[in-house]
Structure 1
Amino acid sequence: MKPRILILIVVFMAVLFFPASILADIDHVMTVNPSSFSPISPILYGIFFEDINHAVDGGLYAELVRNRSFEHTDRMEGWSVILDKGCKASFSIKSERPVNGNNTHYLSFDIESDDGCVILANNGYDGIPLVGGENYTFSSLIRGYEYNGEIEIHLIDEQGNSIITAVLGSDFDDLWEKYSVILEVPEDCQYGRLALIVKGSGLISLDMISLLPDKNWHGMRPDLLEMLEELRPGFLRFPGGCLVEGDSLENSYRWKDTIGPAEERRANYNLWGYHQSYGIGFFEYLLLAEYLGAEPVPIFNAGISCQVRGAEYCPMNTMDVWIQDVLDFIEFANGSVESPWGAKRFELGHPEPFNVTYIGIGNENWGNEYHERFTLFQKAIKDRYPEIVILFSGPPSYEGASFNRAWRWARQNGVEMLDEHIYAVPEWMLRNTERYDKYDREGPKVMLGEYAAHEAGRRNTLQAALAEAALMTGLERNSDVVIMAAYAPLFNRPGWSQWTPDLIWFDNTRVYGTPSYHVQKVFNRNLGDIIVDSSLTDEDIEVIGYWFKSLYHSCSFDYETGDLIIKVVNPWPGDKEVLVEINETTKLTGKGEMTVITSSSIFDENTFDDPEKIIPITTVLSDFSNRFTFTFEGNSITVLRLNTWSL
């Protein structure tokens, strides 16, 4: 079941709000002064998309066949071949006369006689999920030579029984040709399999064997797409991440390999240990950003492979090709249809420009090797496209010597925005919610391109979500400096993962949001347009020798709804009683709502078996004034929306 916000309509009861005169124990006083405010970045909360944990292949990309093009390092990965009893045949991976220069390998059967048959099977990722009543399109590029026979297409269940069958014609020419057939599945099958039964004799070759459900959006899986829609992201950073850098420059991410017909895209081994089909490439990412109403933020290799893994550096005198790739992309995304790359965009079906504003150069790069290469990109891009904002990569560390050097260089060299990454224990986040209070308002802006709380065991617990929410209150208060921020990574497929924790977990048929997902969703839906001046008394507490805030908060205002929005994070077990005092110049209507995320233990988390253990609960409120008390539950994130007549 898709996670949702529950709405309970109740009267704003006295058990929640008491007159201050009869309260004996008030822990804090919150003062809200809407006469002083600053704007909030409208694209503050976004999503970071990287093909890690099989987020794309085996995930958002709806293709059900694994290794459809036989381009994986293990050419037969995902495939099995069975020879019928008495069948005299052999098979091999060939590269002579391939489909094209980007798709250079294919599977070929040499069958001596038609006494038996050859069975070629693929079970996708943990089986192929099939939904009764839905259509699936099978397709393949096929070439025959002196072949006399036919190919049966079978979708089979866990017991090996055929669910539905179709036959491809027997007239296979010695030139590559695409054959396809639509299969209407009569019944559900969670762990299906695709089987091709090759009958006849002669030489028959196959490539780009595909099974795609008709229910998809530009090749994307609808239920995972819906999870992204629910976040209402302000921006989409893609395609990585370390993925952009590659283990070496040879397998770095090159955007031109990822556009055009599927069979022309160059499949690539990525540094997370598996292959990408590029079924979702740069064009689809741009379409996705447009669909979500999010600002596209593409990241490009700086001519350096992953420095954390031991970098390979493109020689400075051959950097032109990397720089030209970025310039060509900007033309592809924004250029006139009369331009060479703008014409390519038109050819792909999108005549209107995508209006890309931000371009990132590098990911978690550092040192002189990066700085001198960044300068080349910076000059070339600004000379031709002065309106483009170029993001400078910070190092993997978020404090310390290399981090400080990066910031010093950025300030001295006209950098507009620096990409920081923070993966830290929850305690660090709770102690550093004022991190950006100290940043120079005149210096480069910040994109917090990746962040997440890593608690013990790297699990997606309520404890991690509480720490992230506390940090996010600081991001909101400083969104004149922090323009964009994204949790990372986005997706995880159990059994195929390389990194935890993650925002969204899925398998073949199910998907759920973690507590961190619901924090991102609730914060973005309650962002507001301006930060309103506010303060809390008696905030600091000592825990095991460290000082923390007792509560973490932000206050904003939404011009469209007229709502004053108060966010409060209480990461401690005890409830906190707060007297809220709002400047009398603000006229409240007495109407509003409260959204709370909490659970009985900070170690609770959502699972496939209990996907809604921790979800936002929204309650309608009424009958309150400019001065009221409120109890913020222990281990909770609370958002109050108080409707006003005016500020």
Structure 2
Amino acid sequence: MKKITTLIIAALFGINVSAQKTTKIDVDATKPLVVIQPTMYGIFFEDINFAADGGLYAELIKNRSFEFEYPWMAWKHLPEAETRFNLVNELTIFNNARENAANPRIVRVDKRDATKDIGLQNEGFDGIGIKKGEKYDFSAFARLKKGDISLLVEIVNSKNQIIGSTTVALKNATWTKVEGVITATETDPKCKVNVIFKGGGQLDIDMISLFPQDTWKGRKGGLRKDLVQLLADLKPGFVRFPGGCIVEGRTLAERYQWKKTVGKVENRQQLVNRWNMEFQHRPAPDYYQTFGIGFFEYFQLCEDIGATPLPILSCGLACQFNSSETTPLEELEPFVQDALDLIEFANGGTDTKWGALRAEMGHPAPFNLKAIGVGNEQWGQEYFERYEVFSKAIRAKYPTIKLVSGTGPGSKGEMFEAAEKALTVLKPDLVDEHYYDSPKWFRENAARYDNYDRNRYKIFAGEYAAQSVATVSPDNKNNWECALSEAAFMTGLERNADVVYMTSYAPLFAHVNRWQWTPDLIWFDNLTSFGTANYYVQKLYANNAGTKTISIKSNGQNLIGKNGLYGAASLDEKNNEVILKLVNTSSDKHTIDLNINGLAENAVGKVISMIEKDIKNYNTINEPNKIIPAESEISITKSKANIVLEPYSFKVFRIKK
């Protein structure tokens, strides 16, 4: 009778009695199992979605050195109608290749009538984000050929009103860097910059630049502060750079060549971004790489945020989804030498050629490079043959450097199986596997490495992200179902930390108006940025990794999806804490009867929870805090506690041992 009454009350009030499930979970904190590598959770950076120029690199001027395919791209002449067809005052593109072959184009300014001002206006990257009260550094390289010309530099808002300006005098007949500072009087995400030429004479100008002074660590010409902070908050174990398919290039000429990205910024040779026209749904003909973020800056970023650098280099194969252009094996030596020289650049003494360049750039101490990747997502015999050449050369000269190979673009099928066989013979230190699949796939593959051969190579889960619609679909969203499914999958990565040494979500960054690929971990516009639900899942794992795994079971079995539950557990030996990660991917509420062997009689800790009833919900630039972690406290008496896992929830427990 009591049961019937309860059911009637439940029906009246909409309570799902059948969904109240109880699960017993046993954790043994007395027997540490396997070491969790300090590199377990890291970052994969690639310049896609305007992640570098127009993103992490804080330069606000687009096409600052007029090297885009169409040199006036992003620039407008002022006054537009008069200047374009004026024989008295002219702005022309002048080829200066004899003096600077890497950066040949400059603007020649002829002012024959000093009473009429002419100039240039730059549109920036989807506009220029300016903040009230902030200072901005203007600079340019100029030489005054004759006469008397000065620069009036103006920031104009979206209403074409001037909100800051500076005047820069020009005196030298040789190339000189000229500078000025502008203080903004207004905040506007859609500003433009005017450079007005005052006076008369002839002037050459190049590398027109505007940077906020408030960059990461206050470095001039540096990185965007809020974006680096989001990376630092992840506490990543490594940063993989510069990609990705960027490494390969659509053709070999468009591959990433690290030597062209170091040295003085004004001498770095620009390159079209391989993502500029890759997708018909998001063409970006103005997407180029200035390499203001080059290999030196990547190494420096790693050092800043306490991460191990993992550079990836071309193996002589262009992207096999594009041209598949292949360097003959007998002509591979320059590619191999690039790899050897990079190790010298990172680790060599200042008495070496490339170590001396590193010191000249401001970093005499080595960057402590420990690993290098050969190729990105290549496959087939062409790749394996080239990997073997690299492997022999690098191991002969630098035997302590770890080598990372690829397995192609997928994690299953004939191509992947062929890679497994070949790499078992080639014996790389780590093998990079990529997973772009449905949320369901991630939930169903949490046990992927449970029965993995412990004598084989170690795994680098180098790119993964659940796709809400389909891989490469422009309709993918960073929704809670994707993030929660990734959290479930990652319990299996952590449980198998003796096999899985490195993991990273991909891609990392995306501009809200200028993306090519979605989903992405961090989104930004010209002034603000936010982490997705996926970002916070990654952050909770990386900030709570622990040092060794411990056993976590339910009825003697791993938590790998029964009733929608997943779990991982570890010890933080430095802080003497037990860390539990529990994921509920079901629509049911679960009561957990928790027993942790090895705690003090009365133990305390904290719980960090992510809960969202609507699994299709996601954070946006206007509502960045829809799905974020919340923290509470927990007490455990005599090693036991009853806890609740709400539907569609992810919780991390840190309990003093």
Q: TM-score, normalised by structure 2?
A: 0.90
Q: For 1:390, what is the secondary structure of its paired residue?
A: strand
| 2:152 matches 1:138 | no
Q: Give the SS at the match of 2:93.
A: strand
Alpha-carbon separation, structure 2, partners of 1:67 and 1:449: 32
* 1:435 paired residue number: 448
- Matched residues in 1 for 2:634 and 2:595: separation? 17
Please tell me whether residue 34 in structure 1 is matched to residue 44 in structure 2: no
Deviation, 1:99, is 5.2
Q: Which moved more, 1:185-194 or 1:438-447?
A: 185-194
Superposition deviation, residue 185 in structure 1: 2.5
**Is 1:481 aligned with 2:484?**
no
User: For the Cα contact (< 8 Å) 2:149–2:203, is it kept in 1?
Assistant: no
Q: In the alignment, what sits opposite 1:320?
A: 333
What one-letter code is carried by the residue in structure 2 that aligns with 1:567? K
| 2:605 paired with 1:592 | yes
One-letter identity of the residue aligned with 2:482:
A
Shift of 1:588: 4.7
In structure 2, the partner of 1:10 is none
Matched, 1:490 2:490: no
1:43-58 matches, within 5 Å, as 43-58=39-54
SS, match of residue 637 in structure 2:
coil
Please tell me whether the aligned partners of residues 215 and 225 of structure 2 are also in contact (alpha carbons under 8 angstroms): yes
1:574 and 1:263 mapped to 2: Cα distance?
59
Per the alignment, residue 554 of structure 1 pairs with 568
- Aligned partner of 2:490 in structure 1 is 472
Q: 1:288 aligns with which of 301, 304, 328?
A: 301
Within 5 Å, which residues of 2 pair with 1:117-266?
A: 117-173=117-173, 175-217=174-216, 218=219, 219-266=222-269
Question: Structure 1 residue 260: deviation in Å?
Answer: 1.4
Match of 1:616 in 2: 629
**1:512 match:** 530
The DSSP-based 3-state class of the residue aligned with 1:435 is coil
SS in 2 for 1:602: coil
Structure 1 residue 306 displacement after superposition:
0.5
Distance 1:493 1:307 in 2: 27
Distance 1:25 1:398, change over 3 A: closer
1:540 CA displacement: 11
The alignment covers a number of residue pairs equal to 616
> What's the secondary structure of 1:38's corresponding residue?
coil
Higher mean displacement: 390-399 or 106-115:
106-115
Q: Distance in 1 between matches of 2:492 and 2:109?
A: 62
Aligned to 1:412: 425
Q: Is 1:384 aligned to 2:422, yes or no?
A: no
Name the aligned partner's letter for residue 27 of structure 1.
T
Q: Quick one: structure 1 residues 540 and 440, their matched pair in 2 at CA, closer, same or farther if it must change by over 3 Å? A: closer
Q: Name the SS of the counterpart of 2:603 in structure 1.
A: strand
Q: Distance in 2 between matches of 1:77 and 1:572?
A: 51
In structure 2, C-alpha distance between the alignment counterparts of 1:25 and 1:459, rounded to whole Å: 30
Taking the aligned partners of 1:190 and 1:598, their CA distance within structure 2 comes to 33
Amino acid in the other structure paired with 2:595: E
**Alpha carbons 1:247, 1:270 under 8 Å: kept:** no
Distance 2:233 2:363 in 1: 25
For residues 294 and 127 of structure 1, what CA distance do their matches in structure 2 show? 32
1:143 to partner: Cα distance:
2.5
Distance 1:602 1:336 in 2: 53
Taking the aligned partners of 2:556 and 2:584, their CA distance within structure 1 comes to: 14
* Residue 157 of structure 1: how far off its partner (Å): 2.0
* CA positional deviation for 1:139: 0.7
1:141–1:581 distance in 2 versus 1, CA, 3 Å? same
Question: 1:204 Cα deviation (Å)?
Answer: 2.2
The Cα of 1:236 is off from its aligned counterpart by 0.5
| Distance in 2 separating the partners of 1:163 and 1:433 | 54
Change (3 A) 1:437 1:30: same
1:571 aligns with 2:585: yes
Taking a change above 3 Å as real, the CA distance of residues 377 and 623 of structure 1, as seen in their structure-2 partners, is: closer
Are the aligned partners of 2:586 and 2:648 in contact in 1 as well (CA < 8 Å)? yes
Once structures 1 and 2 are overlaid, which stretch shifts more, 476-485 or 127-136?
127-136
**2:449 aligned counterpart, secondary structure:** helix
Q: Is the 8 A contact 1:528 1:565 kept in 2?
A: yes
- The one-letter code of the counterpart of 1:180 is E
Partner of 1:532: 550
Matches within 5 A, 1:316-355: 316-355=329-368
Contact 2:150 2:197 in 1 (8 A): yes
Shift of 1:98: 5.9
Partner of 2:409, secondary structure, is coil
Contact 1:539–1:551 under 8 Å retained in 2: no
Q: Which amino acid aligns with 1:291?
A: D
CA contact (8 A) 2:128 2:191 kept: yes
Letter in 1 for 2:300: L
Residues 144, 451 of structure 1: alpha-carbon distance in 2 compared, 3 angstrom cutoff? same
1:92 corresponds to which residue? 92
Distance in 1 (CA, whole Å) between partners of 2:610 and 2:555 is 24
1:627 aligns with 2:640: yes
| Residue in structure 1 matching 2:616, options 588, 603, 606 | 603
Please, which of 41, 56, 60 is the counterpart of residue 56 of structure 2? 60
- Equivalent-residue separation in structure 1 for 2:170 and 2:37 (angstroms): 61
Worse-matched range after superposition: 528-537 or 164-173: 164-173
Structure 1 residues 327 and 588 mapped into 2: Cα distance closer, same or farther (>3 Å)?
Answer: farther
Q: Distance in 2 between matches of 1:413 and 1:50?
A: 27
- Other structure's SS at 1:45 match: coil
Distance 1:335 1:538, change over 3 A: closer
1:417–1:39 Cα change, 3 Å: same
* RMSD of Structure 2 on Structure 1 (CA): 2.1
1:541–1:549 Cα contact (<8 Å) kept: no
Contact 1:588 1:643 in 2 (8 A): no
Counterpart of 2:443 in structure 1: which amino acid? L
Amino acid at match of 2:23: H
Residues 454 and 499 of structure 2 are in contact (CA less than 8 Å); yes or no, is this contact kept in structure 1? yes
Letter in 1 for 2:183: E
Once structures 1 and 2 are overlaid, which stretch shifts more, 92-101 or 415-424?
A: 92-101
Cα deviation, 1:586-624, whole Å, max 9, x if unaligned, reads 435321111110112001111122111110011012253
Alignment-derived partner of residue 102 in structure 1: 102
The amino acid that maps onto 1:265 is R
Provide the rounded CA distance (Å) in 2 between the counterparts of 1:461 and 1:151: 48
The Cα of 1:79 is off from its aligned counterpart by 0.6
Residues in 1 aligned to 2:655 and 2:153: alpha-carbon distance in whole angstroms = 60
Cα separation, partners in 2 of 1:540 and 1:282, compared to 1, 3 Å = closer
Alignment CA distance shift 1:165-1:28 (3 Å): closer
Checking the alignment, whether the CA contact within 8 Å between 1:134 and 1:185 is kept in structure 2 is: yes
- Secondary structure of 1:225's counterpart equals helix
Q: Is the 8 A contact 2:165 2:183 kept in 1?
A: no
Distance 2:157 2:28 in 1: 64
| Aligned counterpart, 1:375 | 388
* TM-aligned CA deviation for residue 548 of structure 1: 5.9
Higher RCO by CA contacts (8 Å cutoff, separation 6 or greater): 1
Using the alignment, how far apart are the partners of 1:416 and 1:625 within structure 2? 44
Identical positions, percent: 38
User: What TM-score, normalized by structure 1, do the two folds share?
Assistant: 0.92
Q: Secondary structure at the match of 1:73?
A: coil
Per-residue deviation, 1:538: 9.7
Q: Which amino acid aligns with 2:329?
A: M
Alignment partner, residue 20 of structure 1: none
Specify the alignment match of 2:78 in structure 1: 82
* Distance apart, 1:562 and its partner CA: 1.6
Q: Is the 8 A contact 1:133 1:185 kept in 2?
A: yes
Q: How far apart, CA to CA, are the structure 2 residues paired with 1:96 and 1:267?
A: 15
Unaligned ranges ≥5, structure 2: 1-18, 277-286, 470-474
